[in-house]
């Protein structure tokens, strides 16, 4: 019985998706993130770009790709907010890197692990965001941690539905 | 070195990305603090983001609007037909309720006006509601919901605050039949307010009021008010009947006219009426109090007058009808207590009592022809007798003649 090296196992478990999915899903995430809060108001307890970042980072298991994807989506979010560009970029860059790095170590096929990772990484993203705003930019920001918990919980619920759907678009060898 | 880069490739890329973004943030913050606008790169990123996000957002918005429209105008209208039927029923019910309430409100206003009139009216009345009619145009009678048990009797007047309506023709237990004044068989004595021309009011064939058998008079003009004359023993005097509408010649008798009236009461829209049950005047409490006080005063005056008359009968009068003028007690100088005279004028003129009454009296030397004047003149020319000066102080003519009369009587 041959034992696969870590590199070989990673290569073996890398999920590949059609280019259209890579292009459309992040854009759709950003668009919906900008559009749905208009309908839901203060009940928009989710961060779709973060969920998409986590999903692709876990699926691709490539920290560089995860970091770049998170950074790009974060920068797009920042560009739409009118604030300084890079706050969400830094947070999601870190989230993408961590998700991909953890994805190498654990079995990401398990839905419970995915949900738990999404929950934890959402909190990490929020903490990073507050760190950048408060300590790098020196701006005042009200930290509403219950709201961040709700948001992390909402992201987990969305991941519960979205991840299996996106898994269906996975390319088979 | 190459192995280091390969080994820590991921971490290095992360660091590069983070550092680049931190530097970018620092530059943006620096520009913002110095009041400068976003740099070209930042604006370009915002433009791209907007260009990428806006079209799908617009599509989503229009799609959402379309879905919302479809939902609101189709799926959400599944029970609208039933709701519409229910609402229609509700509208019908509310319309009926509204009509009933409106009718109640109107009736309330009419009853309020009737009550106000009834309270102010000096005769005792019973309010009644019109409950039916004769059913034909030839007979203008109607029925009211008050009868013998309510004190209603035949030939009682039926009125409204606007004017007279008719009289009770038949009385039953709890209802009564009223003959309207515009019936051809009805009649009432009326008088025109300004010309004071009297006549008999009857109804004509078309249900109009007219005063018949009136001698032609140019003073009768349209618009004149007509009141009840009070001579028919049914309608009290002074109630409004109507106003003169026109004057038409009596076709049967020359020189006579019929005066057609517009009824003061709305005879064709009667709902509530008043039946005058007692024609004894009924005054409000304050008026009754005034009347009682007036009666008491009158009786006191009568009592005083009676006492005065009694005393006058007992005492002799100043004037004796059987004696000549010069022998009247007032002119008797022998009277030890003569009647006091008015004070003398210092400068007598024609207005002085006794001077201007008649020239003869003024020209008389002693004034004996006029008791008053004569006494004045004599008093002016002659000093008063000692008796008079020593007598009692001035006394009134009404009380003092009693004493002088006594000696005169004694003289007789």
Per-residue pLDDT, averaged over A103-131, amounts to 89
Per-residue pLDDT, averaged over B231-252, amounts to 89
Most distant CA pair in chain B, distance: 182
- DSSP lists the bridge partners of residue B258 as B248
Would you state the pLDDT for residue B321? 64
- DSSP lists the bridge partners of residue B215 as B256
Best-predicted range by mean pLDDT (A2-16, A17-31, B41-55, B390-404):
A17-31
Express as a percent the part of chain B with pLDDT over 90.
Answer: 23
Among chain B residues, the shortest Cα distance to A35 is held by B57
Higher pLDDT residue, B230 or B165? Answer: B165
Would you state the pLDDT for residue B228? 93
pTM: 0.45
Q: Where are the domains of chain B?
A: 121-278, 325-411
Out of A75-89, B129-143, B200-214, least confident range: B129-143
Would you state the pLDDT for residue A43? 80
CB contact set of B228 (below 8 Å; sequence gap of 6+): B164, B188, B189, B190, B191, B235, B236, B237, B238, B239, B241
Indicate whether B360 pLDDT > 70: no
Q: What is the dihedral of CA B353, B359, B363, B364, to 10 degrees?
A: -70
A163 to chain B nearest CA, in Å? 22
Per-residue pLDDT, averaged over B240-251, amounts to 91
Task: Name the average pLDDT for chain B.
Answer: 78
Per-residue pLDDT, averaged over A16-45, amounts to 85
pLDDT in tens, B41-54: 888 888 888 888 88
Would you state the pLDDT for residue A32? 87
Per-residue pLDDT, averaged over B254-269, amounts to 90
pLDDT in tens, B310-323: 877 776 655 666 76
Is the distance from CB of B179 to CB of B186 less than 8 angstroms? Answer: yes
Please report the beta strands in B172-290, taking only residues with DSSP state E, as ranges in sequence order: 176-180, 188-192, 198-203, 209-215, 225-228, 240-249, 256-263, 272-278
B74 pLDDT tier (thresholds 50, 70, 90): confident
d(CA B45, CA A72): 10
Tokens read off for B305: 């007058």
d(CA A22, CA A55): 11
- Domains of chain A, start order: 6-168 (1.10.1760)
Would you state the pLDDT for residue B88? 94
A6 pLDDT tier (thresholds 50, 70, 90): low
Per CATH, the homologous superfamily of domain B121-278 is: Rod shape-determining protein MreC, domain 1 (2.40.10.340)
Kindly report the number of other CB atoms within 10 A of residue B36's CB atom.
Answer: 10
Would you state the pLDDT for residue B242? 94
d(CA B267, CA B393): 78
Kindly determine whether residue A86 and residue B22, on different chains, have CB atoms separated by under 8 Å: yes
Indicate whether B407 pLDDT > 60: no
d(CA B299, CA A129): 111
Kindly determine whether residue A136 and residue B22, on different chains, have CB atoms separated by under 8 Å: yes
CA distance to A33, A34, A131, per residue, from A155 (Å): 12, 15, 21
Out of B92-96, B140-144, B279-283, B377-381, least confident range: B377-381
Out of B73-82, B292-301, B327-336, least confident range: B327-336
Would you state the pLDDT for residue B354? 66
Per-residue pLDDT, averaged over B193-207, amounts to 89
Indicate whether B377 pLDDT > 60: no
Among chain B residues, the shortest Cα distance to A101 is held by B10
Select the residue of B9, B22, B46 nearest A90 (Cβ to Cβ).
Answer: B22
Indicate whether B329 pLDDT > 70: no
ipTM summary value: 0.84
pLDDT in tens, B118-129: 777 778 889 998
Per-residue pLDDT, averaged over A15-43, amounts to 85
A contact set with B (CB within 8 A): 27-28, 30-32, 34-35, 39, 63-64, 67-68, 71, 75-76, 79-80, 82, 84-87, 89-90, 93-94, 97, 100-101, 132, 136-137
DSSP string, B274-339: EEEEE-S----HHHHHHHHHHHHHHHHHHHHHHHHHHHHHHSPPS--TTS-GGGSGGG-TT-SSPP
Would you state the pLDDT for residue B247? 92
Indicate whether B394 pLDDT > 50: no
- The DSSP 8-state label assigned to residue B132 in this structure reads E
Best-predicted range by mean pLDDT (B190-204, B347-361, B391-405):
B190-204
Residues of A in contact with B33 (CB under 8 A): none
Per-residue pLDDT, averaged over A88-94, amounts to 94
Indicate whether A162 pLDDT > 50: yes
Among chain A residues, the shortest Cα distance to B41 is held by A85
Would you state the pLDDT for residue B163? 92
């Amino acid at each position: 019985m041959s034992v696969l090296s870590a590199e070989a196992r990673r290569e073996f478990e890398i999920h590949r998706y059609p280019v259209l999915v890579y292009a459309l899903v992040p854009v759709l995430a950003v668009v919906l993130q900008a559009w749905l809060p208009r309908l839901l108001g203060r009940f928009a307890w989710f961060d779709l770009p973060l969920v998409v970042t986590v999903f692709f980072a876990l699926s691709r298991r490539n920290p560089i790709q995860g970091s770049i994807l998170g950074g790009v989506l974060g920068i797009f979010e920042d560009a739409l907010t009118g604030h300084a560009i890079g706050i969400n970029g830094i947070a999601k860059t870190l989230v993408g890197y961590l998700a991909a790095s953890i994805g190498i170590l654990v079995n990401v096929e398990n839905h419970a692990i995915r949900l738990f990772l999404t929950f934890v990484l959402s909190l990490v993203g929020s903490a990073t965001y507050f760190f950048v705003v408060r300590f790098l930019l020196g701006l005042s920001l009200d930290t509403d941690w219950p709201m961040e918990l709700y948001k992390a919980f909402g992201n987990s619920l969305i991941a519960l539905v979205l991840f299996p759907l996106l898994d269906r678009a996975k390319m088979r060898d | 070195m190459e192995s280091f880069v390969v080994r820590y490739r991921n971490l290095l890329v992360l660091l590069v990305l983070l550092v680049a973004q931190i530097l970018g943030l620092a530059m943006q913050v620096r520009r913002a603090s110095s009041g400068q606008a976003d740099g070209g790169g930042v604006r370009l990123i915002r433009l791209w983001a907007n260009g990428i996000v806006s079209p799908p957002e617009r599509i989503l918005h229009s799609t959402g609007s379309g879905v919302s429209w479809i939902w609101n105008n189709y799926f959400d209208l599944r029970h609208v037909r039933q709701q519409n039927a229910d609402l229609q029923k509700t509208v019908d019910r509310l319309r009926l309720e509204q009509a009933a309430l409106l009718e109640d409100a109107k009736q309330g206003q009419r009853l309020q006006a009737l009550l106000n009139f009834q309270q102010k009216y000096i005769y005792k009345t019973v309010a009644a509601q019109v409950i039916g009619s004769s059913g034909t145009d030839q007979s203008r009678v109607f029925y009211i919901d008050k009868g013998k048990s309510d004190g209603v009797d035949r030939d009682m007047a039926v009125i409204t605050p606007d004017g007279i309506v008719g009289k009770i023709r038949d009385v039953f237990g709890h209802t009564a039949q009223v003959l309207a004044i515009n019936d051809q068989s009805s009649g009432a004595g009326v008088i025109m307010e300004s010309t004071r021309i009297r006549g008999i009011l009857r109804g004509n064939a078309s249900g109009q009021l007219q005063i018949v058998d009136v001698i032609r008079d140019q003073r009768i003009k349209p618009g004149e008010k007509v009141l009840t004359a009070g001579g028919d023993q049914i309608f009290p005097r002074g109630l409004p009947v109507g106003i003169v509408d026109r004057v038409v010649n009596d076709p049967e008798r020359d020189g006579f006219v019929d005066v057609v009236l517009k009824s003061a009461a709305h005879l064709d829209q009667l709902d509530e009426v008043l039946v005058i049950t007692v024609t004894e005047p009924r005054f409000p409490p304050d008026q009754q109090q005034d009347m009682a006080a007036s009666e008491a005063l009158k009786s006191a005056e009568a009592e005083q007058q009676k006492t005065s008359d009694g005393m006058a009968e007992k005492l002799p009068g100043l004037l004796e009808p059987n004696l000549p003028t010069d022998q009247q007690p007032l002119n008797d100088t022998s009277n030890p207590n003569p009647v006091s005279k008015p004070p003398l004028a210092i400068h007598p003129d024609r207005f002085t009592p006794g001077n201007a009454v008649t020239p003869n009296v003024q020209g008389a030397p002693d004034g004996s022809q006029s008791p008053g004047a004569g006494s004045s003149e004599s008093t002016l020319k002659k000093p008063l007798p000692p008796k008079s000066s020593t007598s009692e102080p001035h006394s009134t003519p009404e009380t003092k003649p009693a004493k002088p009369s006594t000696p005169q009587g004694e003289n007789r």
